Structure formats: structure tokens, C-alpha cells
Amino acid sequence: MQNDDTVTDAASRDPRFAALPGRPGTIVAVHLNYRSRAAQRGRTPASPSYFFKSTGSVAASGGTVERPVGTELLAFEGEIALVIGTAARRVSADRAWEHVAGVTASNDLGLYDLRANDKGSNVRSKSGDGFTPIGPVVLDARLLDPTRLRVRTWVNGELAQDGSTDDLLFPLPQIVADLSQHFTLEPGDVILTGTPAGSSVIVPGDVVEVEVDAPDTGATTGRLTTTVVDGPDIAFDPALGSLPQVDDTQREEAWGSREAAGLAAASALSPDLRAKLERVPVAGLSQQLRKRGLDNVTIDGVAPLHPDAKLVGVAATLRFVPNREDLFRSHGGGYNAQKRAFDTVREGEVIVIEARGEAGSGTLGDILAIRAHAQGAAGIVTDGGVRDAAAVAAVGIPVYTAGAHPAVLGRKHVPWDAGGTIACGGTTVQPGDIIVGDRDGVIVLPPALAEEVADAALAQEDEDAWIADRVAEGEPVDGLFPMNAAWRERYEAERDAR
């Protein structure tokens, strides 16, 4: 048996670990850590979560990675990698960076075809040979500000990812400190700190490059280069374990969007259901939902800028929190949650904004309204204010708001996150809920009830129209509204004869 020194020397000579002090004892990766990525995923975690990768998955710059036969969803993720310099156990966030020796580039490659049975742990999907390229240069962490780093990824020379540490949900020192609460981080261990938006699928022949740099100082790792190749013609053995499998959900997550994956937009709002909802007044929908025990489904305190326009669409959510100056500095500038929500809204969606009913500041203006309109959004609902209200109205997209206000966002609000469950106008709204609006207001339809409620509301509209005709002919409302047995028998006979 080799002694420890022999093993360490052998590891240090292994070309796979050329950029590192030696073979890492542990590689730990963060699941989700960039706001831009969280917006794509439609969820924002409250705290970091992690998974381990095999140290055998490490590869040097200039190498290749195989896409196994029978698979289709090999995806890249450019990331900032931290190399631990001194052992860290229960360190505080303000001292954690002292335990980081170096910063370098990494590519957290993953095979979505293998996630079905291991999702979360990512054991098979993330630990393939060559699935963790690292390098080519490790920067001295003592010379770097962990809040001023950038990671970029190119595929075949085209920029695919551009993220910086000011977009992190969990700062780099916090990640080190958090992990050290649970186990000792040893010298040489590697932490992969998450990937920004833009990760997508790569195929044999593609060349992926990842670079981490400090724009303020010019320090750079250089480009970490990996070429995708076909794996050998050897299929996975079903007698040993589960086979690769994909579905549209995995394709959407691997490619980054349904559109990029070539999939039709997923929505509970079919063309037929949309047509029904465009005919039904919100008051009729409210009546039917109340019959089913749902009273708290109206977005209160908002009025339309286009009273004659009907609003029908699927909710895409955005949340503002009360302004706090330090948080606005960290979350209000750059490519913040507000901009991401308007940039990523899909055709037929309604951007629903939680602003706590605070109308003392704008939550959007004409530029963002134009962007939503260009994206094909069905409308915008905000329980906050609208700046440039006349210009927003002129864009033509249906907008419901608590009122006009000239002030900019930072007076009252911080754009916090997109894609989660929110409260708008006193009503809970989730992504995918169906939003319907008219002169009477805006209502939220749970997707599972939408078809049933629409059909019942249309039937009620026909019945109410028949009753109105009888009242116009001079009939008294007593016994007719609501109908007694005799009137109902007459109504049903005439309805069936039509």
C-alpha cells in the first residue's frame, strides 16, 4: 500500500489536477446561487443547498468531455471555483475568506438524462469523468474582493453567460462559513459556487470556454476550454441501474427555456379556454368561484388604464419589498429582478407585481411596458404605482394599477425576486395562475378550476340574459330571479329547442 506522501505526489503529477495543489479531498457545489438563474428556474431559495461531485470528475483546461451514447442533454455551467487554503471549521462569515487560498474557473457539467433517480444528489448526472474542468490559472484570493468577481462562458466563441458576484443570492464568504458549520473544509477542497443564467445544452463538436476575472484589477484565470466529443458506443446496462430518460421538464431545464428546447409553451390556458374567458365577465367568474368556496381571489385596489380591453393570461410574478437603502444598493441596480422579469416574460403571460399596495412610487414605466408588449405579454397588474402613465397607456398593453405616480422605484421599493408566490392587491398569486380582468377588476383563477368555472359562468350568462329579456317584457322579478320551478322548466325547454 502506498503511504500518504506517495499518493499526494501521484495526485500532484496527474495532469487532471494541474491547476490545483493536488487531488481535492472534496468537491462541493451550490445548487442555485444567482438571482438570474433563480428567475429562470421560477424559485428563489431562502438558504443555500449543496451536492457533492466526484474528485475523479476533475479535468484540466484543453481537455474533452464525452457525451454518453443514448443521451441528449449534456449542459454546461460556468462557475467561480474556490480552493480552500487552510482548514475551516465553524468559521464566521467575516473570517471565512481568510480560509480561501485561490479562485479559479470551473465548468459544472451535468447530464440531465440521468437526473430522474438522483435529482438533488446529482450523483450520476454530475460526476462523470471530465465533468468538472477547472483552471487554467488559480488566482490568489488574498488579492481579490469576493464581491467584485465576474464569470463568463462562451460556446463556440459566442458569449452565453455573463454573471457577477453582485447577483449572488448567497455571497462567497457565506458559502464557506455555512459549509464549515457542518464539516471541516480541508486544504485543497474545492467549492463550486453556482452558475448565472444562460446555461444550456452542448453537443459533440462544441467548444466551451469559461473565464473568471476581477474587472477592477484585470486579474483573470484565462479561459478554461473543454471540447465535447461522442462517447464510445457502449450503452448503459439496465441490469445495473436506471437508464437515461428525459421528458419535457428536463429538456426545458437543460436548455434554459421551453423555447430554446423547441417545446410549445406550457400553459393551463388553452386557446379554447382563452376564448371562453374572453367572453365571460369577471363578475360572472367571481360568482362561480364563490359557489366553490373561493372568496379571496380578487386583486383589489387596481383599476385599468384601458377600461375597454379584456385581460386574459397566465401569471408571471415579481415581488418588491419596502425600500431599505443598503438593500437597494445591492438589489436595485444592474440587471435586477424587475428588469429580469420584463426581459423573460413569455407570450400570453401577465406580469403580476407585489408592491404591498404602496402607490407612492412607480413600479414600471413606459420602457418596461414596451418591453413586455414586444415580448407578447398579455398584460401587467401591479398594486403599486405606474410612472409615465400616459405613455404606458399609449403602448397599448392592458395595465391595471393602483394609480399614477411620478417617483422612481427606489423611493418606496426594492426589486427583490421574480417567479415566486406573491401577494397582489390582498390576493395570493402563484406563477401559472390564470388572470382575467375587465372594467370590474381582476380575478385569479386556480388552473385546476378554470375550465369548470368558465363553462359554468358562460351557462349562467345565458340564463341571466334570458331572465333580463323576460324582465324587459314586463315580467316581475319575484319567482323569476332567481327562477322558481315553473320558470326554470320554461327556460330549459326554450334553451333545448334552440
Tell me: do 237 and 284 sit in the same domain: no
Q: Are 157 and 225 in contact (CB under 8 A)?
A: no
**If pLDDT is split at 50, 70 and 90, which confidence band does 390 have?**
very high
**If pLDDT is split at 50, 70 and 90, which confidence band does 13 have?**
confident
**Does residue 3 carry a pLDDT above 60?**
no
Phi-psi region of 409 (alpha: psi -120 to 50; beta: other; left: phi over 0): alpha
What are the tens digits of pLDDT across the range 71-92? 999 999 999 999 999 999 999 9
Tell me: do 276 and 227 sit in the same domain: no
Residue 33's Cβ-count burial label (10 Å; 0-12, 13-18, 19+) is: buried
User: Residue 433 sits in a domain of what CATH number?
Assistant: 3.50.30.40
Tell me: do 231 and 316 sit in the same domain: no
Tell me: do 98 and 175 sit in the same domain: yes
The SS3 assignment for 378 reads coil
Tell me: do 334 and 412 sit in the same domain: yes
Give pLDDT, residue 408: 81
Tell me: do 119 and 202 sit in the same domain: yes
Mean pLDDT of 483-490: 86
Nearest-angstrom CA–CA distance, 24 and 311: 56
Taking alpha carbons only, the member of 172, 187, 107, 104 closest to residue 138 is: 104
Tell me: do 244 and 275 sit in the same domain: no
Nearest-angstrom CA–CA distance, 417 and 431: 13
**If pLDDT is split at 50, 70 and 90, which confidence band does 236 have?**
confident
Give pLDDT, residue 210: 98
Cα-based angle 321, 161, 125 (whole degrees, multiple of 5): 95
- Final residue belonging to a domain, choices 424, 448, 472: 448
**Residue 169, CA distances (Å) to 161, 431, 471 in order:** 17, 21, 62
To the nearest 10°, the Cα dihedral for 50, 51, 52, 53?
-120
Q: 385 pairs with which residues across the strands?
A: 362, 403
Weakest mean pLDDT among 180-194, 222-236, 325-339: 325-339
The SS3 assignment for 347 reads coil
In a domain, 460, yes or no: no
Instruction: Give percent of the chain with pLDDT exceeding 70.
Output: 97
**If pLDDT is split at 50, 70 and 90, which confidence band does 270 have?**
confident
- DSSP single-letter state for residue 167: G
Q: What is the mean pLDDT of the chain?
A: 91
Which domain does 412 fall in, by range?
271-448
Contacting residues for 150 by C-beta, under 8 A, at least 6 apart: 162, 163, 164, 165, 212, 213, 214, 215
Q: Are 191 and 168 in contact (CB under 8 A)?
A: no
CA 226 to chain centre: 27
Pairing of strands 74-75, 110-111: antiparallel
Nearest-angstrom CA–CA distance, 16 and 435: 53
Nearest-angstrom CA–CA distance, 109 and 370: 37
Q: Tell me the residue type at 360.
A: G
Tell me: do 310 and 431 sit in the same domain: yes
In a domain, 493, yes or no: no
Nearest-angstrom CA–CA distance, 200 and 154: 11
More reliable by pLDDT, 413 or 119:
413
Backbone angles phi, psi at 88, to 5 degrees: -125, 120
Nearest-angstrom CA–CA distance, 328 and 336: 10
Helix extents (H) in 332-476: 337-344, 366-374, 389-395, 447-472
In a domain, 266, yes or no: no
What are the tens digits of pLDDT across the range 399-431? 999 999 998 877 899 998 888 899 999 999 998
Nearest-angstrom CA–CA distance, 202 and 273: 37
Give pLDDT, residue 463: 81
Overall domain count for the chain: 2
CA 402 to chain centre: 27
In a domain, 294, yes or no: yes
Give pLDDT, residue 304: 96
In a domain, 359, yes or no: yes
Give pLDDT, residue 267: 65
**Residue 22, CA distances (Å) to 16, 100, 128, 274 in order:** 9, 15, 19, 60
Nearest-angstrom CA–CA distance, 166 and 169: 9
**Does residue 94 carry a pLDDT above 90?**
yes
Q: Are 134 and 99 in contact (CB under 8 A)?
A: no
Tell me: do 247 and 360 sit in the same domain: no
Which grid cell sits at 284? 360572472
More reliable by pLDDT, 389 or 488:
389
Mean pLDDT of 20-29: 96
Other Cβ atoms less than 10 A from the Cβ of 124: the count is 20
CA 38 to chain centre: 4
In a domain, 495, yes or no: no
Tell me: do 320 and 205 sit in the same domain: no
What are the tens digits of pLDDT across the range 144-185? 999 999 999 999 999 999 999 999 999 999 999 999 999 999
Give pLDDT, residue 4: 42
Nearest-angstrom CA–CA distance, 439 and 428: 21
Nearest-angstrom CA–CA distance, 467 and 222: 77
User: Residue 8 sits in a domain of what CATH number?
Assistant: 3.90.850.10
Mean pLDDT of 339-356: 92
Q: 434 pairs with which residues across the strands?
A: 314, 445
Cα-based angle 450, 451, 455 (whole degrees, multiple of 5): 115
Tell me: do 330 and 376 sit in the same domain: yes
Backbone angles phi, psi at 328, to 5 degrees: -65, -35
Give pLDDT, residue 219: 97
Give pLDDT, residue 266: 55
Tell me: do 221 and 301 sit in the same domain: no
Give pLDDT, residue 466: 86
**Does residue 42 carry a pLDDT above 90?**
no
In a domain, 491, yes or no: no
**Does residue 281 carry a pLDDT above 60?**
yes
Taking alpha carbons only, the member of 31, 212, 197, 229 closest to residue 106 is: 212
**Does residue 7 carry a pLDDT above 70?**
no
Give pLDDT, residue 2: 34
Instruction: Give percent of the chain with pLDDT exceeding 90.
Output: 69
Phi-psi region of 414 (alpha: psi -120 to 50; beta: other; left: phi over 0): beta
